Structure 1
Amino acid sequence: MNFASDNVTPVCPEIQAAIDAQCQGNAPAYGGDDVSATLDHAFSELFDHEVAVIPVSTGTAANCISLSTLVSPYGGIVCHHEAHINEDESTAVAHFTGGAKLLPMDGPAAKLEAATLSSYLESRVDRGVHSVTPECVAITQSTELGGVYSKAEIAAIGDVCQQFNKKLFMDGARFANAVAALECHPADITWKAGVNALSFGATKNGALAVEAIILFDTSLRQKAELARKRSGHLLSKHRYLAAQLAAYIQDDLWLKNARNANEAAKALAALLSEQGGKLLIDGAANELFISLPPETAARLRDRGLIFHNWPSLGSNAYRFVTAWNSDIEAIMALGTRLKQG
């Protein structure tokens, strides 16, 4: 059982079928195909709001192109110090934005807190051209440590952004898992809460290689499309990205896949707790951060489980990530075998 990441999974059958269907003939390039033409309408219905959809093939591109539409080259982006854009995307943000600076903050479970954010923005000293002015706040849903922002928490951050005239960006690499965990409408934790742009993840949740930049201000489309082209992320065979996204949201496949991942995480958390594990982060999505006795971790690995050490949370801390194809019955059966020795 591979719990190293949800990136290790295969393409889910529905999305593979959509890709295969595009292999039956020719189609216009660079987004001129029929499937690409449906995305704005489909996602506008999904979010109950007019949106512009910009497909790209990687999460880094989705995050950084989004941010390049919201900030200037000399602006600042407030984020959590654990944020993917800060810890795992090299200098991509500065590269895509032309120089914008990340301004990391702390907070529980890799979350920013509205009150702390407000105090931080209030305390910033404007030194004119000598200082960096925050222009955007970036949050991740669900977070890099498995936390899930509630509707109220995002709305509170949105209020702070509005008060200080800052844009709000959401990294949604695991957005589906958060929506499934909260059992909410996707609008409730995005544009209704003040989010200006979202990277809508699909690759971790069953797609081959596609993420959608969702712009809730459609006037930003041209800026985003120009940034996509300039950065080398406009695919000539664009229809293969569009087909994945269309299949991903059809019949709520994105939520079905996410629910399985979340339920598998609950089953795995129960198993690990029975083996002496202690959850380090109170999460509701598909990432588990847990402390295990070293002998237990070794025994699990001897049984074939693959997972990562997570030293930033302690010497005996580990991360387990479940996915759309995690076998819940197999997890429960493993628990039974472990009880039997």
Structure 2
Amino acid sequence: MFFASDNWAGAHPAINERLMRESTRFAAAYGTSALDQAIEKRFNEIFERDVAVFFVATGTAANSLALASLAKPGGVAFCHAEAHVIEDECGAPDFFSGMRMSPVDGALGKMDPKQLTSRIARYPQDAVHHGRATAVSMTQATEVGTIYTLDEIEQIARISHDHGLPLHMDGARFANALVQLDATPAEMTWKRGVDVLSFGGTKNGCWCAEAIVFFDPAMAKELPFIRKRSAQLFSKSRFIAAQFEAYLQDDLWLNLASHANSMADRLRGGLAASNSARVAWPTSSNEVFAVIPKDTAKAAQDKGAKFYDWLEPHDMAEPVQGHEQLIRLVTSFATEKEDVDAFLDVIAAG
């Protein structure tokens, strides 16, 4: 019953097998191998246009370096108040970009367009004392398990571009959002106005594979130097490329995300039918937030369930009572129906 994070899951067998094959041969280093170049072309196919792709090791690196490439002196970047880039990356985006992350409110993890417009207005381009608006970052799927619709992405992009700001998308759970919307990668990104994407693979079956994708390669001219100076240019980067080769082959990445989402649906359904627990708010990705009695939570942990306690959002509709606790449950490609049902049985018994 492992629901702490999709980071807890291992790597998919197809990705392990591809890494094993790669380990027995020689190839050019620092991203110049034939495999690196082939996977960069594969990204062109996936996104239906020429893109610039840079492999990195972690989602924090992808977000931080993407924002660093957009930075200006005195820059301010805008994101949801509970976004990973502002809450859970130890200030790395600020450190690498030299910018400040400015929080934007909005229900259920999504920036409110009016709040974003108002926040941007506080930092005009000549505001030397306060800093100037420079970029916008949105998280898809969000930190609280919700998903921006295609129209919502386009609206955020329109506001960003009306103010001359590029739009970055943190896609650590990109595939989970994509399959839920039944959209193409192009439809969920550049066709709706996204300029730069952090493309995550690690949470969805890879061992260690993230990429920064620029939909206008001209915007990426500084990234090779930024990546090198931040120690993210792997000498054997083909091992990231090898993971992506297996990940993207025969829609494996989409199938893995679909499975994770379906397991979360199973959890949501069971919790909704429970007399002793409730879904904290509606989600549609592979994250589920639930309110359960503290005694039930302890009983589940005693029986081996792994999950995280979660801080109560300020806009939570139904507050957590003193005898309850808010928890986060995350499913993955490796979650089995038996894991979900065993957890729900513990909840029912509580």
Correspondence for 2:334 among 319, 325, 332: 325
**CA deviation digits over 1:252-300, x for unaligned, max 9?**
1111110111001111122233332222221100011111122322232
1:273-284 equivalences under 5 Å are: 273-275=272-274, 276-284=276-284
Q: Is the CA contact (8 Å cut-off) linking 1:57 and 1:209 kept in structure 2? A: yes
Q: Is the CA contact (8 Å cut-off) linking 2:74 and 2:128 kept in structure 1? A: no
Gap change, CA 1:340 and 1:63, over 3 Å in 2: closer
The secondary structure found in structure 2 opposite 1:213 is strand
Q: In the alignment, what sits opposite 1:122?
A: 121
Q: Does 1:229 align with 2:240?
A: no
**CA deviation digits over 1:147-173, x for unaligned, max 9?**
100001001111111211111000000
Gap change, CA 1:28 and 1:124, over 3 Å in 2: closer
Q: Is the CA contact (8 Å cut-off) linking 2:126 and 2:132 kept in structure 1? A: no
Q: In the alignment, what sits opposite 1:289?
A: 289
Q: In the alignment, what sits opposite 1:308?
A: 308
The secondary structure found in structure 2 opposite 1:316 is strand
Gaps of 5+ in 1: none
Q: Is the CA contact (8 Å cut-off) linking 1:146 and 1:281 kept in structure 2? A: no
Deviation at 1:85, TM superposition (A): 1.1
Q: In the alignment, what sits opposite 1:102?
A: 101
Deviation at 1:220, TM superposition (A): 2.8
Gaps of 5+ in 2: 314-319
Q: In the alignment, what sits opposite 1:74?
A: 74
Distance in 2 of aligned mates of 1:200 and 1:267:
26
Deviation at 1:41, TM superposition (A): 1.5
Deviation at 1:21, TM superposition (A): 1.1
Counterpart code for 2:247: Y
How many residue pairs are counted as aligned between the two chains? 340
Distance in 1 of aligned mates of 2:302 and 2:188:
41
Gap change, CA 1:23 and 1:129, over 3 Å in 2: same
Which is worse superposed, 257-266 or 296-305?
296-305
Counterpart code for 2:26: N
The secondary structure found in structure 1 opposite 2:136 is strand
Q: Is the CA contact (8 Å cut-off) linking 1:263 and 1:328 kept in structure 2? A: no
**CA deviation digits over 1:114-136, x for unaligned, max 9?**
23212332354566321211110
Q: In the alignment, what sits opposite 1:139?
A: 138
Deviation at 1:316, TM superposition (A): 1.4
The secondary structure found in structure 2 opposite 1:129 is coil
Gap change, CA 1:337 and 1:105, over 3 Å in 2: closer
Distance in 1 of aligned mates of 2:343 and 2:329:
15
Gap change, CA 1:334 and 1:164, over 3 Å in 2: closer
Q: State the superposition RMSD in angstroms.
A: 1.8
Gap change, CA 1:87 and 1:31, over 3 Å in 2: same
Instruction: State percent identity of aligned pairs.
Output: 38
Distance in 1 of aligned mates of 2:17 and 2:289:
34
Q: In the alignment, what sits opposite 1:168?
A: 167
Q: In the alignment, what sits opposite 1:265?
A: 264
Q: In the alignment, what sits opposite 1:60?
A: 60
Q: In the alignment, what sits opposite 1:210?
A: 209
Q: Is the CA contact (8 Å cut-off) linking 2:305 and 2:343 kept in structure 1? A: no
Deviation at 1:210, TM superposition (A): 1.2
Which protein has the bigger helix share? 1
Q: In the alignment, what sits opposite 2:238?
A: 239
The secondary structure found in structure 2 opposite 1:188 is coil
Which is worse superposed, 270-279 or 316-325?
270-279
**CA deviation digits over 1:209-263, x for unaligned, max 9?**
1101111011133311111001011111111011111211111111111011100
**CA deviation digits over 1:301-332, x for unaligned, max 9?**
23321111113344611100000110024423
Distance in 1 of aligned mates of 2:217 and 2:9:
33
Which is worse superposed, 184-193 or 313-322?
313-322
Distance in 2 of aligned mates of 1:122 and 1:68:
22
Q: Is the CA contact (8 Å cut-off) linking 1:196 and 1:217 kept in structure 2? A: yes
**CA deviation digits over 1:76-134, x for unaligned, max 9?**
1001111111111112112211x211111111111112232123323545663212111
The secondary structure found in structure 2 opposite 1:24 is coil
Distance in 1 of aligned mates of 2:134 and 2:32:
34
Deviation at 1:140, TM superposition (A): 0.3
Distance in 1 of aligned mates of 2:54 and 2:167:
18
Q: Is the CA contact (8 Å cut-off) linking 2:83 and 2:143 kept in structure 1? A: yes
Gap change, CA 1:336 and 1:105, over 3 Å in 2: closer
Distance in 2 of aligned mates of 1:11 and 1:160:
38
Distance in 2 of aligned mates of 1:277 and 1:46:
41
Q: Is the CA contact (8 Å cut-off) linking 1:203 and 1:211 kept in structure 2? A: yes
Q: Is the CA contact (8 Å cut-off) linking 1:147 and 1:281 kept in structure 2? A: no
Q: Is the CA contact (8 Å cut-off) linking 2:124 and 2:133 kept in structure 1? A: no
Counterpart code for 2:19: I
Which is worse superposed, 39-48 or 141-150?
39-48
Q: Is the CA contact (8 Å cut-off) linking 1:39 and 1:53 kept in structure 2? A: no
